[in-house]
């Protein structure tokens, strides 16, 4: 088990070390820009107040933290957590003018912050990549205040047969796009395989509930290409 976790950690780190410099461009190309609509819907459902605090885990290039901050006129205290060196530097550079955002280089499974600190915990297209999802969810619960909210945006399972057929066939093209834009197809072969092997909406809902969160629910985006899960620390 330990070797499996270490292997995944190395694999994921290798993947993001290859793509961080053109990560945002590739996301725009792959999704035709729709990922930006999904992220805005994610923030819409969070509906944070101006004094809400956020820990954004697996922050990548900082999209969620930026949207959260702008929604609250940059009044919120935000902590971004990112384990990959390249993504960490890219995210910090992207958000260098946001003085209310601080960055921590750390894994989702071990957050170097105190208990019951944040109003919101967000993880966007990151939970699929963690080495230990159970530890990740335990940490999410630990760092939230009582009454705090867990929010997860992730690729999921499509609920429309025709769309699923089209999506599966389109997915076969994505590694070639990665090769052309990023210079390597392997990170996007990993992407497709990790999406296929990840939990469906109901399975992830049950797992989140198992770790103590209450009132867990989800909303599909684009017929389940992505899904938002929400849960509360009561």
DSSP 183: S
Q: What pLDDT does residue 148 have?
A: 98
Residue that has been written with the tokens 């959260």 in this structure:
68
Q: What pLDDT does residue 2 have?
A: 54
Q: Which CATH number covers residue 10?
A: 3.40.50.150
Tell whether the model's pLDDT for residue 197 goes beyond 70. yes
Mean pLDDT of 197-203: 97
Q: pLDDT for 68-110, tens place per residue?
A: 999 998 889 999 999 999 999 999 999 999 999 999 999 999 9
Nearest one of 65, 72, 70 to 94, comparing CA atoms: 65
Q: Which residue range forms the structural domain that includes residue 98?
A: 2-232
Q: pLDDT for 119-154, tens place per residue?
A: 999 999 999 999 999 999 999 999 999 999 999 999
Percent above pLDDT 70 for the chain: 97
Q: How many domains does the chain have?
A: 1
Tell whether the model's pLDDT for residue 3 goes beyond 60. no
């Amino acid at each position: 088990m330990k070797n499996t976790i270490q292997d995944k950690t190395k694999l994921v780190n290798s993947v993001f070390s290859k793509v961080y410099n053109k990560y945002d461009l590739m996301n725009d190309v792959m999704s035709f820009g729709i990922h930006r609509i999904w992220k805005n819907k994610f923030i819409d459902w969070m509906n944070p107040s101006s004094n809400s605090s956020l820990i954004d885990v697996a922050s990548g290039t900082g999209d969620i933290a930026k949207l959260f901050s702008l929604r609250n006129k940059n009044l919120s205290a935000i902590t971004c957590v990112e384990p990959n060196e390249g993504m960490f530097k890219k995210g910090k550079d992207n958000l260098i003018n946001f003085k209310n955002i601080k960055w921590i280089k750390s894994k989702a499974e071990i957050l170097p912050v105190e208990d019951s600190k944040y109003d919101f915990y967000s993880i966007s297209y990151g939970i699929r990549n963690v080495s230990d999802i159970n530890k990740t969810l335990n940490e999410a619960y630990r760092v939230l205040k009582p009454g705090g909210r867990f929010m997860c945006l992730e690729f999921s399972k499509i609920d429309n047969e025709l769309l699923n057929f089209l999506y599966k066939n389109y997915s076969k093209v994505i590694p070639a796009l990665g090769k052309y834009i990023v210079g390597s197809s392997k990170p996007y072969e990993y992407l497709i395989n990790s999406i296929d092997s990840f939990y469906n909406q109901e399975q992830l809902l049950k797992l989140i509930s198992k770790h103590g969160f209450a009132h867990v629910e989800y909303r599909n985006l684009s017929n389940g290409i992505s899904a938002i899960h929400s849960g509360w620390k009561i």
